[in-house]
């Protein structure tokens, strides 16, 4: 009689693949499971009925070891080690990828009015507990804080005149010199912004953002920064040593 191999570790971590799916799943399995019990567990992983499964065992280097074909045998009686792969072959006739096609899943839709009336919804929970946007006091505080920041930006922007020389000073970044080209609101982000043409190609664009032109400069010379990071003054043009001869 051939000897039976029983592994001492009670749990083994394996990969599970299937002829029905393109993905693999990592699972921790009890070596004390019978193959029949294992198939039942794998139903939820691969979508194939247990009665329609054939199992194959592959090593960690993806070499075929043997078929797992005795339903009453224990998983631990086979040479299954961590990292091995158990491949499920489906015999039900289901098409490959059928369980991965989300377009085939029936969608549940509910009207806004019907959802508003439900007492077990997330929205109902937030309302009852005055959380998120349903916390009027918190919402009012956030709105006030946003208004305060906008006012600070407006005042800072009013002190900056297009055509002025400036330095852009952002914490953690090198100081950059250039000229103010634009001051005001923009379409790409809320609040007040300052458009700067840098002395060297240290920017991100040519003064145009998302198809709208705010000012004109050479590519990679333009940038937008918040007013609080712009210092206006008599700053001579700095070439950053880019024109030095070697």
- The most confident of 85-94, 142-151, 165-174, by mean pLDDT: 165-174
Q: What's the confidence (pLDDT) of residue 7?
A: 47
Summarize pLDDT for 125-140 with one digit per residue, the tens. Answer: 887 777 777 777 777 7
Q: What's the confidence (pLDDT) of residue 198?
A: 96
What is the residue extent of each domain of the chain?
11-99, 165-232
Q: What's the confidence (pLDDT) of residue 234?
A: 92
Summarize pLDDT for 165-210 with one digit per residue, the tens. Answer: 999 999 999 999 999 999 999 999 999 999 999 999 999 999 999 9
Q: What percent of the chain has pLDDT over 90?
A: 61
CATH number of 165-232: 2.30.30.190
SS (H, E, C) the chain: CCCCCCCCCCEEEEEEEECCCCCCEEEEEECCCEHHHHHHHHHHHHCCCHHHEEEEEECCCCCEEEEECCCCCEHHHCCCCCCCEEEEEECCCCCCCHHHCHHHCCCCCCCHHHHHHCCCCHHHHHHHCCCHHHCHHHHHHHHHHHHHHHHHHHHHHHCCCCCCEEEECCCCCCCEEEEEEEEEECCCCCCEEEEEEECCCCCCECCEECCEECCCCCCCCEEEECHHHEEECCCCCCCCCCCCCC
CATH topology of domain 11-99: Ubiquitin-like (UB roll) (3.10.20)
- pLDDT tier at 146, thresholds 50, 70, 90: confident
Summarize pLDDT for 110-123 with one digit per residue, the tens. Answer: 888 888 888 888 88
């Amino acid at each position: 009689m051939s000897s039976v191999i029983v592994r001492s570790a009670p749990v083994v971590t394996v990969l599970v693949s299937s002829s029905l799916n393109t993905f693999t799943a990592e699972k921790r399995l009890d070596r004390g499971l019978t193959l029949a019990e294992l198939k039942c567990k794998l139903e939820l992983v691969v979508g194939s009925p247990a009665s329609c499964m054939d199992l194959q065992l592959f090593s960690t280097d993806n070499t075929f070891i043997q078929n797992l074909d005795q339903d009453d045998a224990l998983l631990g009686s086979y040479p299954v080690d961590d990292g091995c792969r158990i491949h499920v072959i489906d015999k039900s006739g289901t098409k490959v990828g059928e369980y991965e096609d989300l377009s085939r899943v029936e969608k549940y839709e509910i009207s806004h009015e019907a959802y508003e009336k439900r007492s077990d919804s997330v929205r109902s929970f937030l309302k009852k507990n005055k959380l998120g946007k349903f916390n009027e006091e918190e919402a009012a505080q956030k709105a006030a804080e946003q208004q305060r920041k906008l006012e600070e930006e407006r005042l800072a922007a009013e002190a900056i005149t297009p055509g002025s020389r400036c330095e852009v000073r952002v914490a953690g970044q090198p100081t950059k010199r250039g000229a103010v080209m634009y001051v005001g609101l923009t379409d790409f982000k809320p609040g007040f912004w300052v458009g700067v043409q840098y002395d060297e190609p240290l920017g991100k664009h040519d003064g145009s953002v998302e198809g709208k032109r705010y000012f004109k400069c050479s590519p990679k010379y333009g940038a937008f920064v918040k007013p609080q990071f712009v210092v206006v003054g008599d700053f001579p043009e700095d070439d950053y040593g880019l024109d030095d001869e070697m």
